[in-house]
Structure 1
Amino acid sequence: MRDRIPHEFVASFLAGLTAFIGGTALHLPPWAIFIGWAGTFLLGGPSLTNARRLWMTMPLGSTFALVIVLIDQQIGTIAGTGQFAQNLVLAAIIFVVNSALMFTGRLKAFALIPGMFLGFASYFATFFGGFGFDPQNPWAAWVSVVAMNFLGPVFAYLSMRLAFPRPTQGVEASRTTDIAVAEDSAAGERDSGPRAEDRVLAEPTSTRGHDR
């Protein structure tokens, strides 16, 4: 396939459009689009199957991250207000929730564990970075990042589709040549062996000669 418009131009144009998404009063995290966009190509490129895998796992990863934040807000100082004590509690929370995330990856629908970690990391960056329509609100951060991650596979698809790819003549000619060679090879194999009726006629003669 050959692009009518260079893919680099199309992808860069779409990347520029994210400035209008992030530069609003909603203060959405446009960089989260690039996370899903890159993840799509890491899976092999835009396709409905790859998009579904990311759409299933990225929001779930963000959900596990949300759980960590909510639990930490409730019991983060249970061992004391010192930094080490808070870090110790947070480490325990992360251990438990992260283990649950990875065990969830054993389910077929959520087997793409890296996809969950893309959403996992995106949520923390959104929440602690103060992004979202209500900064420092855990739920607002979740809605914001899930929406932006969702657009990643969409932008990946558009970056290919809007390049208007077309088959190249060289590829078609090569394909035609390969088919012709395969047909000639098959015909040669059929012609090289003796015909069935020739083998039947030859067998009695050989047998009579052996009897004499």
Structure 2
Amino acid sequence: MDLLEKVKKVSESTTTEDLEKVKAPLLDYLASAGCLRPLRSMRDRDLLVQDIVMFQVIHRFQEPFQRYSVILTINQHRLPLFCYEPSTLTADQLDDLFTIRLSPEGSNKRVVEEVVIPFWRDYLQDAEEEEGPSKLQKILAFATGASVVPPIGFSPSPSVEFIHKGDDDFSSIPLFPMANTCVNCIRLPLHASYQLFKEKFDFALGNTYGFVRA
């Protein structure tokens, strides 16, 4: 209301002398609004009133409105870069996340590896059914050190490999899965039954502390 009264006095001025007098209390406001102009005639008076109204009604709200529009757009489109929220991990998502690295087709190693692949996938499904996302997060952390998928993904991409007798100087068939979180790789033992595979995997998850290898 105070501004309205001052602007009203400007609009009702009849001489340039009166105009200069009523403009004086508005100098700080006019400087902030960018409305300072020389007043040499009544036409300048009308232009000044128009500038003040334009600033007060339009320009003063333009920048906050633009900021609000940007925030609204981001929220509507949920841009992952600014509004990332980890999704609930599922067995299928975890399976898709890992690339299975098999030995050459036709080799003896490939034959036993193909027996274990269904065990791996069944284990993920059982983990989801038994404990839900929490156990899947443990499996992911076992392999990568991270319990959620980062917004920009993993580098390198997580992978599944297999431990054969003779690998890493193993003289017998290894019993437990191993992981190297530096390269996001989990290595699976080659058990002949799912029950044994599950038992040894559960033991490894429950007794792993820290990263790199278990």
TM bracket (short chain): under 0.3
Highest RCO, 1 vs 2 (Cα 8 Å, sep ≥ 6): 1
Q: Return the structure number with greater strand share.
A: 2
| Higher Cα Rg, which structure | 2
